[in-house]
Structure 1
Amino acid sequence: MRFWYGADYNPEQWPEDVWAEDIRLMQEAGVTVATVGVFSWAQLEPEEGRFEFGWLDRVFELLHRAGIRVDLATATASPPPWLTSAYPEVLLTDEWGHVLSPGSRQHFNPSSSTYRRLSLRLVRALAERYGRHPALITWHIGNEFGNDNPRDFGDESAAAFRHWLQRKYATIDELNRRWGTEFWSQRYSAFEEILPPRAAPTFRNPAQLLDFDRFASDVLLENHRAEAEVLRAHSPGIPITTNFMGMFKPADYWSWADDVDFVSDDAYPDPADPGSWKDAALQRDLMRSLKPGTPWVLMEQATGAVNWRALNAPKRPDQMRALSYQAIARGADGIMFFQWRQSQRGGEKFHSGMVPHAGTDTRIWREVVQLGGELKRLEQLAGSSVGRQAVAIVADWDSWWSLEQEATPARIDYKARVSAWHHALLDLGVNTDFVGRDSDLSPYRVVIAPALFVASQSTLEALDRYVRAGGTLLVAAPAGLTDEDAALSDGGFLGSLAGTLGIRIEELAPHGPHDPVSLSGAVEATTLAWSEVVHARGADVIAVFEGGIVDGGPALTRRAVDGGVGWYLAADPDVAGMRDVLRLVLEDSGIAPATLPASVELVRRADATFVINHGSTPVTVDVAGTDLLSGQRLESPTLEPFGVVIVTGD
């Protein structure tokens, strides 16, 4: 079994006399898979109903003869000019009622029935022509669903939203009850009166906002499912995927995971940020967790710089290699790039490629060839599993959507909050999985629930069962403030889980820099912006607040419940304080943090241990064994900046 290695290949951007050179260079680089057709709708269907496949036939045959498999995209991510000219109703409408023009990509309303009809006709034509081609290895549906068109507020979306609500609530009375429409005279007499949450004078209904986010994620998924249905009918047995984007707010990837045969992901950590390798590690862990036990594919990364940041720093020498091995260590069976040959024109012409604009006498090309050669020596790891970790973090899109609405106690960045906990665990040498609100928690010794703002009764009961069955749970505020309908929890904040944790939350007390609050006791730390007035009701107080209206009150509590332990943190401590909290929780559950240099990660996959130095200075690491990359026996090796060793044996 081989690792995927390749890129988005866009031969339509180049004269055909370049294609033979592409194939020769792909073979030199060790390319095994090419993603083809992602943005080629206008080339495949230059006029409505007239398909031109000749050029794609020739590309398929060139790749097939070279032994390179094809990840064929359905080309539906960017409608051609004839489509939006003939059917302007497919265009996006923003929350202010402005119709957005074509001329970029993803310039379509995901709820558009016209778009759906025409896109599925293209998909069917592709599947009928290439669905049994021997070079085809997988189908790549769309591209980065929702990246540029996450929400539409036009009339067709309004009708689709109303239909979605009718399926969920059945009656308008039930919707009124659960949306709390008695507030501000918002009571509806019929579903036909409901609109998407368009621009309004002030705060919109929180339950309506949350349902619209759920609806919009579902609509994107419906487009994926519609294409998948066509592909499975006309190209049976060929796996299907679409490229995710890590922690991407508009799409709840927990609900998408069952609809792909394997997960693929696009990841672009910022080379200008020395800590961005931790952001990449989080993405890899989330992707692996979406389909446990199934390898995933890094569908896109950059060889060097991207084109869309305010400052597009290039990757340093060997940094691309280090980040590629990080993905493999954390479960990837493929390393792919955007794109193969750097474009000369268009909005992404400054985005790096496997073949840079400066050609093959370049550092980037030499690194590309080196990595391709090395991956051939690692085939024993392809298809293997990372295995479950001892610690899991809850990632919850409902909480993300609700917490970042306007009418909340404080402006909190949910992704940053979850990332901080994951990064702190990396600092302690502890690797983690992610779980959703409906995941099975029983395999984990420790579960951390940061900023679980939305918690239904079933979620609260599942967390209680986990603790009583012997698990260790750390709940970090703000948590359990509302139920699934954006209503404050029955029985006070945290609902029934407050009893499990042995506390009562009297009042939320976010604070600013003029009113500093800190923690003292077993944890000494500064809080960033959050505190709560907490009363212990059976829990042991581990740390207390100093300052503000919470002065002297519990900040960190612990309660033994049956066979397990429930911890509650009523604060958002600084990074050092977060690590101190985690040390207490981990040691309490029998997990010993590791001592690693600050820039180093150590990950085990199957019988191999990956050690990667993401720093700019050499480091010595305490590992021993045979390095799969060099074949040498190693004993406490020194890793150069962005150096990698993969050791097996004692």
Structure 2
Amino acid sequence: GWSNTTRCYCKSCKNRFRNWLKEKYGTIDNLNKTYGTTFWSQIYRSFDELIIPKAGACYDTCHDTQGQNPALLLDYYRFCSDSVIDFTKESVKTIREYSDLPITSNLLDAAINSGTGIDYFKLSKEFDFVTWDNYIEFQWGKAKPETVSRDHALLRSYKKKPFWVMEQQSGPCGWSKMGPTPTPGKLRLWTYQSVANGADTVVYFRWRACPFGTEELWHGILNHDGKPNRRYAEISQVGAEMEELSKSYQALMPRARVAIIKSFDSEWSQSIHRQVEGLYYDSLLLDYYRPFWNMGIPVDFVTAEEELDGYDLVLAPMLMMVSDEGKKNIESYAQAGGKILFSFRSGIKDMYNNMLTETVPGVFADLAGVEVEDYDPLLEKTTAASGVFGNGTAHMWCDIVKPVTAKILGRYTSDFYAGEACMTVNQTGKGEVYYLGCDLDEKAMKMLAVYLGRKAGIDMDLYKVDGVEVVDATDGTNDALFILNYNDHSVIVSMEQSYENMITHETVENVVELKPYDVAILKEAN
């Protein structure tokens, strides 16, 4: 799916897409009714008339604007994803006729799922394990630690099992230009970040820089001359440490008590109609992930349909549409005592990408115990709010929320709707359903995470040090607490009990001190 190759516009795909739609809708009248093709005179008389949607009326790449039927577009995106998955099934079936070895494929960078256009939850079912490439600082930019951590979390979440890093950065890299050479300590740090977040195999790319071809500037552990260097020494150190650690640990996985619902249907729908300038589905999910990362609270990603009972807190940012199965699953989770939060623009569409006629938040209105009386897409302005998250500011969206059975936890303090509710909680069975009608700045999001975590019985803010990631992991028998310092200076992290540093075998009492880009792996002292 790399380089936008999933969504194809050839004659073969056009014919297959028409057959895919015929199998889904049965009759052309049913498709016309479902799509609402009476609008803009888009009515089809037969499946042979259906197009592959690309550029259309009001098409504007500068502002994410297009004029194609949104239901047709979403179906086309689903078809393209299914085509890749069908090809994968054929490939896997053929390989299994000749080999019983594990089968996988590279899922690329999780942060660009919108570009690949493949539902990775569905695709991953075909593999024995999943893999991805982990490049942090290269020609195309520098990733923040929380973004890399989020990507690792996505990979381990697709199958709920350890994954591989198929390509781990090992030097300065790029095609036409190079990114920065990794600062001493970063190669080791990035490797431990991978392992802490669920990677049981890390493969460095590459061994030695190639003297020819497109990637001749893509450096490996060794430069073009093949001589041992600083990076070689650093990775040799990691190898020796990993060999020793493997005597104490099997593959490690973070213990996540928080989950974020990731919906590819919602992601694709929001890419078709952004709703408001500056709003991006994956970026919003990262906004919810970041405060928990900052406080050392591992987070998994889940679908609405999968088992949620193992999580104390579930977040559903902009879950625009949900299947009947997913809706019932979420309701059961809340009824049984779970705590779940919905954000603005949740529950507003059916599974065909049409707007619901029920009052927002649509299919979640009864569960959340609210109605949205009005909403304000924020363009070139901000709105202030105050609540259990402290004082915050919205920059993209504000729902004016009317509690029906819910209680108010936050109100707007500016704009024409000052005094109206922006956040609520509704008692549902043994559980609680929260509704947040606006986006919030980073400080308010952190306070919101603390509030929700404590309500869910999670110890919050234990290890908060700027630029430090803490991951609580286990292999099912032995536990490991990873402390990862992304700062270019030393840090001291307060600890609540005695530990053994499994790398240095020193005893840690009260505090652990880390040098720049240093790592500690702690195990409770006996």
Could you tell me the TM-score, scaled by structure 2's length? 0.91
Structure 1 counterpart of 2:10, one-letter code: G
For residues 400-415 of structure 1, the aligned pairs below 5 Å read 400-406=267-273, 408-415=275-282
SS, match of residue 496 in structure 1: helix
Structure 2 counterpart of 1:170, one-letter code: G
Q: Deviations over 1:343-366 (max 9, x none)?
A: 222222222212222533422221
Which structure 1 residue ranges, 5 or more long, are not aligned?
Answer: 1-144
Question: Residue 385 of structure 1: CA displacement?
Answer: 4.3
Structure 2 counterpart of 1:296, one-letter code: F
The residue that corresponds to 1:101 in the other structure is: none
The residue that corresponds to 2:199 in the other structure is: 332
The residue that corresponds to 1:516 in the other structure is: 382
Assess, with a 3 A threshold, how the Cα gap between structure 1 residues 474 and 178 changes in structure 2: closer, same or farther: same
SS, match of residue 629 in structure 1: coil
Tell me whether 1:447 sits opposite 2:314 in the alignment. yes
The residue that corresponds to 2:44 in the other structure is: 188
Tell me whether 1:239 sits opposite 2:111 in the alignment. no
1:632 to 491, 494, 506: 506
Question: Residue 274 of structure 1: CA displacement?
Answer: 7.8
For residues 330-479 of structure 1, the aligned pairs below 5 Å read 330-380=197-247, 383-386=250-253, 388-406=255-273, 408-479=275-346
Question: Residue 310 of structure 1: CA displacement?
Answer: 7.7
The residue that corresponds to 1:176 in the other structure is: 32
Answer yes or no: is the 8 Å Cα contact 2:130–2:155 preserved in 1. yes
The residue that corresponds to 1:285 in the other structure is: 153
For residues 220-239 of structure 1, the aligned pairs below 5 Å read 220-235=84-99, 237-239=100-102
Query: Matched residues in 2 for 1:296 and 1:549: separation?
Result: 50
Cα-Cα RMSD? 2.1
Query: Matched residues in 1 for 2:3 and 2:480: separation?
Result: 36
Structure 2 counterpart of 1:206, one-letter code: P
Answer yes or no: is the 8 Å Cα contact 1:356–1:364 preserved in 2. no
1:204 to 58, 63, 68: 68
Question: Residue 147 of structure 1: CA displacement?
Answer: 4.1
Assess, with a 3 A threshold, how the Cα gap between structure 1 residues 253 and 502 changes in structure 2: closer, same or farther: same
Query: Matched residues in 1 for 2:178 and 2:265: separation?
Result: 32
Structure 1 counterpart of 2:506, one-letter code: Q
Question: Residue 412 of structure 1: CA displacement?
Answer: 1.4
Assess, with a 3 A threshold, how the Cα gap between structure 1 residues 552 and 608 changes in structure 2: closer, same or farther: same
Tell me whether 1:642 sits opposite 2:514 in the alignment. no
Answer yes or no: is the 8 Å Cα contact 1:271–1:316 preserved in 2. no
Q: Deviations over 1:563-591 (max 9, x none)?
A: 00011100011101111111221111221
Assess, with a 3 A threshold, how the Cα gap between structure 1 residues 644 and 359 changes in structure 2: closer, same or farther: same
Question: Residue 271 of structure 1: CA displacement?
Answer: 7.1
1:583 to 425, 450, 475: 450
Question: Residue 617 of structure 1: CA displacement?
Answer: 1.0
Query: Matched residues in 2 for 1:413 and 1:310: separation?
Result: 29
Tell me whether 1:613 sits opposite 2:479 in the alignment. no
Question: Residue 211 of structure 1: CA displacement?
Answer: 0.9
The residue that corresponds to 2:82 in the other structure is: 218
More displaced, 485-494 or 264-273?
Answer: 264-273
2:184 to 314, 317, 321: 317
SS, match of residue 617 in structure 1: coil
Q: Deviations over 1:104-158 (max 9, x none)?
A: xxxxxxxxxxxxxxxxxxxxxxxxxxxxxxxxxxxxxxxxx44451311121211
Assess, with a 3 A threshold, how the Cα gap between structure 1 residues 549 and 399 changes in structure 2: closer, same or farther: farther
For residues 45-64 of structure 1, the aligned pairs below 5 Å read none
Assess, with a 3 A threshold, how the Cα gap between structure 1 residues 335 and 381 changes in structure 2: closer, same or farther: farther
Answer yes or no: is the 8 Å Cα contact 2:502–2:520 preserved in 1. yes
> Larger C-alpha radius of gyration, 1 or 2?
1
Please list every run of at least 4 consecutive aligned residues from structure 1 whose deviation after the TM superposition is greater than 6 angstroms. 271-275
Which structure 2 residue ranges, 5 or more long, are not aligned?
Answer: 59-66
Answer yes or no: is the 8 Å Cα contact 2:335–2:428 preserved in 1. yes
Question: Residue 614 of structure 1: CA displacement?
Answer: 1.2
Question: Residue 371 of structure 1: CA displacement?
Answer: 1.6
Query: Matched residues in 2 for 1:448 and 1:535: separation?
Result: 21
Tell me whether 1:598 sits opposite 2:466 in the alignment. yes
Answer yes or no: is the 8 Å Cα contact 1:507–1:533 preserved in 2. yes
Structure 1 counterpart of 2:69, one-letter code: N
Answer yes or no: is the 8 Å Cα contact 1:322–1:642 preserved in 2. yes
Answer yes or no: is the 8 Å Cα contact 1:555–1:570 preserved in 2. yes
Answer yes or no: is the 8 Å Cα contact 1:455–1:481 preserved in 2. no
Structure 1 counterpart of 2:503, one-letter code: L
The residue that corresponds to 2:64 in the other structure is: none
Assess, with a 3 A threshold, how the Cα gap between structure 1 residues 563 and 516 changes in structure 2: closer, same or farther: same
Q: Deviations over 1:315-344 (max 9, x none)?
A: 211111111111111111101122222122
Structure 2 counterpart of 1:277, one-letter code: P
Assess, with a 3 A threshold, how the Cα gap between structure 1 residues 429 and 490 changes in structure 2: closer, same or farther: same
Answer yes or no: is the 8 Å Cα contact 1:457–1:483 preserved in 2. no
SS, match of residue 259 in structure 1: coil
SS, match of residue 202 in structure 2: strand
Query: Matched residues in 1 for 2:144 and 2:20: separation?
Result: 39
The residue that corresponds to 1:276 in the other structure is: 144
Query: Matched residues in 1 for 2:524 and 2:295: separation?
Result: 24
Answer yes or no: is the 8 Å Cα contact 1:384–1:605 preserved in 2. no
More displaced, 346-355 or 327-336?
Answer: 346-355
SS, match of residue 551 in structure 1: coil
The residue that corresponds to 1:156 in the other structure is: 12
Question: Residue 411 of structure 1: CA displacement?
Answer: 4.3
Query: Matched residues in 2 for 1:416 and 1:284: separation?
Result: 16
The residue that corresponds to 2:409 in the other structure is: 542
Assess, with a 3 A threshold, how the Cα gap between structure 1 residues 504 and 308 changes in structure 2: closer, same or farther: farther
Structure 2 counterpart of 1:521, one-letter code: G
Query: Matched residues in 2 for 1:531 and 1:374: separation?
Result: 50
Identity %: 28
Query: Matched residues in 1 for 2:80 and 2:144: separation?
Result: 29
The residue that corresponds to 1:507 in the other structure is: 374
Question: Residue 537 of structure 1: CA displacement?
Answer: 0.8
Structure 2 counterpart of 1:641, one-letter code: P
Structure 2 counterpart of 1:389, one-letter code: A
Query: Matched residues in 1 for 2:176 and 2:519: separation?
Result: 28
Q: Deviations over 1:217-262 (max 9, x none)?
A: 1112222222111110011x21000011224221110111210001
